[in-house]
C-alpha cells in the first residue's frame, strides 16, 4: 500500500544573495527562484519547511582539513580589504594574511582560473549549503521525515583540503558521514552532468557507501575522472559505479539506463538510505552540459527512486540555465509530495521577468543527435552488471 510520505524541505532566504562574480555561471539565485516557484505553485503546503542553519566549523572539519577550513572562514576578498583600508580601518590580521595570500589561494584552489573564485561570504554560503544537508540527514535519522530536500546542497567536487569545480565545502560527504553514524549502508546517486568525484574519492575504499554517478565523459569534459573502470579500491572494490556518457543523452535512453542500473544496484546493495544529487546541468540547453534531458525525464529518475520506499535525502547540484533549474527543482519537489504544478509561472513571482517562456513550466528539448548509440549503452550496462555481480557474491 502506498502511504503518504513525510517530506521535509530546507531553505534559507540568504543563500540567493551570495555571488560568485558577474561572469561566473554558478548563480545561487536559482535556489531562491526555486523557492519562489515552490511557494507560488502552492507546493510548500505539502512540505515541512525548515529554515537552514549554518554548519559549524567542527561539522565541516569532519571531512575537511583544519587549515583549509580556517582559511575559508577567514577569507576576505581583496576588494573588501582595499575598501577597509581606504576607509582607514587597518586590521592587522588581514594585512598579515594578505602577504602569503596568493600561495595559499593556490594551495586551497581558490581563484584558480576562476572556477572557485574568492568572493565575499563564500564561507557563510558554504555553511548554509552544508547546514541543510546535515539537518536533512538528522531528520531521516530521527525518523522525522521520509524524504528531506536541500536544493542548496549537492556540491560534489569539493576535496578534503581544496576547493574544486565551483564547490568549497562538500556538503554531501558530510551528510553521508552523519548518516553513517547510524546506518550501515548508504547509497549515493549523482545525476549531475559532471562526475561526482569528491564524493567518490571520499568513500573510494569503503563498502559502507556505494557511489553511482551518471555523467558526460570525454573530450576534456570536466573533471575527466569517472571512467567505466574506476570502481573503488580495497574494501571499496566494486562499490564505486560510473556511467560515462557522450553528449546528446535523451530522456528515452537515459531513463531506461538509469532504471536498469539502479534496479540492479538496489537489488544487490540494499541500502538503508539513499542520498540523491540531482544536478540540473544534465537538462537540455544547459550552459555547460551537453545532455538533452527534459525536466520530465530528469524527474523520472527521482520518481523511480521513490518507488523503493527507502529514506531519501535529495540535494541540488549544478545547473546553469537558471530558469530551467528552478523549474526542474520546483517540479521535482512536487513529484516528491505527489502534487503536479499546473499552469504558467505565477505572475506575482518576484523572478517572473527572468522567465522567457512565462506561460509554461516545461520547456522544449533540443534537436540534436544523441552521440550514444544503443550498442554503446548496452555495453556500458553490461559492464556495470558484471561489476555488480561481484558485489552480490
Ligand atoms: C557542481 N566548466 C560544478 C561544475 C564545475 C565545472 C568548468 C566553466 C566555466 C567557469 C567560469 C566561466 C565557464 C564557460 C565551465 C578546465 C577549466 C576551464 C574557468 C574559466 N565559464 C558542478 C568546472 C569546469 C568561471 N572547469 O558539477 C568564471 O565555462 O572545465 C573546467 C576547467 C579551467 C578553468 N576555466 C574553465 O556542476 C556544482 N568551468 C566564466 C567565469
Ligand atoms: Ca554525475
Ligand atoms: Zn555539474
Q: Is 185 left (phi over 0), alpha (psi -120 to 50) or beta?
A: beta
**pLDDT at position 357:** 80
How much distance in Å is there from the Cα of 193 to the middle of ligand 3? 5
Three-class secondary structure of residue 151 per DSSP? coil
Pocket flag, ligand 1, residue 254 (CB < 6 Å) = no
Question: Which residues neighbour ligand 3 (ion) by CB within 5 Å?
Answer: 192, 194, 279, 281, 318
- Choosing from 35, 156, 157, 290, which is the catalytic residue? 157
**Alpha helix stretches (DSSP H) within the chain:** 29-40, 57-60, 66-74, 78-86, 92-99, 101-107, 122-141, 171-180, 197-202, 251-269, 295-306, 322-336, 374-392
Q: Which residues contact 126 (CB under 8 A, 6 or more apart)?
A: 55, 60, 72, 155, 168, 169, 171
Name residue, grid cell 550498442: 375
Q: Give domain limits for the chain.
A: 7-75+110-392
**pLDDT at position 76:** 83
Atom 4, ligand 1: residue with shortest CA distance: 165
Q: Which residues contact 348 (CB under 8 A, 6 or more apart)?
A: 40
- Nine-digit cell string for 215: 555523467
250 DSSP β-pair partners: 292
Which of 191, 219, 282, 288 maximizes ligand 1 atoms within 8 Å of its Cβ, making it the mutation to test the pocket?
288
Q: What's the CATH number for 7-75+110-392?
A: 3.40.800.20
**pLDDT at position 92:** 55
353 is catalytic: no
Count other Cβ atoms within 10 Å, centred on residue 227.
12
Name residue, grid cell 513571482: 349
Q: Round to whole Å and give the CA distance between 352 and 334.
A: 19
Which of the 8 DSSP states describes residue 367? -
- Neighbour order of strands in the sheet with 147-150: 48-51, 7-11, 147-150, 312-315, 273-277, 186-190, 209-216, 240-245
Is the ipTM value over 0.85, yes or no?
Answer: yes
Task: State pTM to two decimals.
Answer: 0.96
Residues of the chain under the 50 pLDDT cut: 95, 99
Q: Round to whole Å and give the CA distance between 141 and 136.
A: 9
Three-class secondary structure of residue 242 per DSSP? strand
Atom 12, ligand 1: residue with shortest CA distance: 24
How much distance in Å is there from the Cα of 115 to the middle of ligand 1? 5
Ligand 1 atom index nearest CA of 221: 30
Three-class secondary structure of residue 107 per DSSP? helix
**pLDDT at position 362:** 87
Handedness of CA 111, 116, 119, 122 (dihedral sign): negative
How much distance in Å is there from the Cα of 165 to the middle of ligand 1? 6
**pLDDT at position 91:** 61
**pLDDT at position 323:** 96
- Nine-digit cell string for 54: 549554518
Q: For the segment 216-256, what is each residue's pLDDT rounded down to a tens digit?
A: 999 899 999 999 999 999 999 999 999 999 999 999 999 99
Count other Cβ atoms within 10 Å, centred on residue 293.
26
**pLDDT at position 138:** 98
DSSP H or E run through 147: strand 147-150
Amino acid at each position: 500500500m502506498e502511504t503518504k510520505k513525510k517530506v521535509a524541505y530546507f531553505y534559507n532566504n540568504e543563500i540567493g544573495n551570495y555571488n560568485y562574480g558577474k561572469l561566473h555561471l554558478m548563480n545561487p539565485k536559482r535556489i531562491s527562484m526555486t523557492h519562489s516557484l515552490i511557494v507560488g505553485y502552492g507546493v510548500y503546503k505539502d512540505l515541512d519547511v525548515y529554515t537552514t542553519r549554518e554548519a559549524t566549523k567542527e561539522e565541516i572539519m569532519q571531512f575537511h582539513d583544519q587549515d583549509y577550513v580556517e582559511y575559508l572562514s577567514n577569507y576576505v576578498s581583496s576588494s573588501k580589504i582595499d575598501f577597509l583600508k581606504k576607509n582607514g580601518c587597518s586590521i592587522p590580521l588581514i594585512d598579515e594574511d594578505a602577504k602569503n595570500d596568493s600561495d595559499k589561494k593556490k594551495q586551497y584552489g581558490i581563484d584558480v582560473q576562476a572556477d572557485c573564485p574568492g568572493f565575499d561570504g563564500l564561507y557563510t554560503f558554504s555553511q548554509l549549503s552544508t547546514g541543510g544537508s546535515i539537518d536533512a540527514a538528522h531528520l531521516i535519522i530521527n525518523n522525522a521525515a521520509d524524504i528531506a530536500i536541500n536544493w542548496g546542497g549537492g556540491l560534489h567536487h569539493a576535496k578534503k583540503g581544496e576547493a574544486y569545480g565551483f564547490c568549497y565545502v562538500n556538503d554531501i560527504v558530510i551528510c553521508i558521514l552523519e548518516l553513517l553514524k547510524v546506518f550501515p549502508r548508504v547509497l549515493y546517486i549523482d545525476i549531475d552532468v559532471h562526475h561526482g568525484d569528491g564524493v567518490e574519492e571520499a568513500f573510494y575504499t569503503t563498502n559502507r557507501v556505494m557511489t553511482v554517478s551518471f555523467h558526460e565523459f570525454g573530450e576534456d569534459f570536466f573533471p575527466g575522472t569517472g571512467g567505466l573502470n574506476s570502481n573503488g579500491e580495497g574494501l571499496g572494490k566494486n562499490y564505486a559505479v560510473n556511467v560515462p556518457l557522450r553528449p546528446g543523452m535523451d530522456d528515452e535512453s537515459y531513463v531506461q539506463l538509469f532504471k536498469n542500473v539502479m534496479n540492479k544496484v538496489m537489488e544487490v546493495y540494499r541500502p538503508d538510505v539513499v542520498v540523491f544529487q540531482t544536478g540540473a546541468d544534465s537538462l537540455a540547453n544547459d550552459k555547460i552540459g551537453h545532455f538533452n534531458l527534459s525536466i520530465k525525464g530528469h524527474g523520472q529518475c527521482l520518481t523511480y527512486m521513490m518507488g523503493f520506499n527507502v529514506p531519501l535525502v535529495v540535494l541540488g547540484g549544478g545547473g546553469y540555465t537558471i530558469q530551467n533549474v528552478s523549474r526542474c527543482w520546483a517540479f521535482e519537489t512536487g513529484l516528491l509530495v505527489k502534487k503536479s504544478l499546473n499552469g504558467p509561472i505565477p505572475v506575482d513571482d518576484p523572478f517572473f521577468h527572468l522567465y522567457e517562456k512565462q506561460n509554461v513550466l516545461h520547456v522544449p528539448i533540443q534537436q540534436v543527435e544523441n552521440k550514444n548509440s544503443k550498442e554503446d549503452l548496452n555495453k556500458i550496462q553490461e559492464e556495470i552488471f558484471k561489476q555488480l555481480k561481484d558485489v552480490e557474491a
